Amino acid sequence: QIQLAESGGGLVQPGGSLRLSCVASGRTSSTVSMGWFRRAPGKERVFVTAINWNGGVTYYTDSVKGRFTISRDNAKNTVYLQMNMLKPEDTAVYYCAQAPLPFYSRPYYERDSTYNYWGQGTQVTVSS
């Protein structure tokens, strides 16, 4: 069993920055893909970004491209989401997720069903 724990959420002003962390524990492996999804109030959970096993390949949804950066530190079993130039529409619960294979094509990274472990979520609120 794998447990994922997000942290780093909070309240920030528009234009501000925040870094989320996701730590994996349990019977974890470094040869897995990781992703971030988010769910805004009253909305479905949607794909934000994903990263392959060694960090060499990343994908982003268009709305965050150029503002968000996903990275990972396998020695720490941690994946990060650096969020810059935050907008009110970024307000959501952010979820870390793990997929079993080291690499997928983009369409698979965008599907919730690709991931077999999920964190509890961390709230990000962007408001003045």
pLDDT digits (tens, 9 = 90+) for 82-128: 999 999 999 999 999 999 999 999 999 999 999 999 999 999 999 99
Residue whose C-alpha is closest to residue 24's, from 96, 109, 108: 96
Confidence of residue 18 (pLDDT cuts 50, 70, 90): very high
Task: Give the tens place of pLDDT for each residue, 62-85.
Answer: 999 999 999 999 999 999 999 999
Residue 5 pLDDT > 90: yes
Q: How many CB atoms lie within 10 A of CB 76?
A: 11
Who contacts 110 (Cβ-Cβ below 8 Å, separation ≥6)?
47, 50, 59, 61
Query: What is the SS3 assignment for 62?
Result: helix
Q: How confident is the model at residue 29 (pLDDT cuts 50, 70, 90)?
A: confident
For residues 89 and 61, the answer to whether their CB atoms sit within 8 Å is: no
pLDDT at 34: 97
Question: What are the structure tokens assigned to 47, written together?
Answer: 């794909």
Per-residue pLDDT band for 24 (boundaries 50, 70, 90) equals very high
Q: What confidence score (pLDDT) does residue 114 get? A: 98
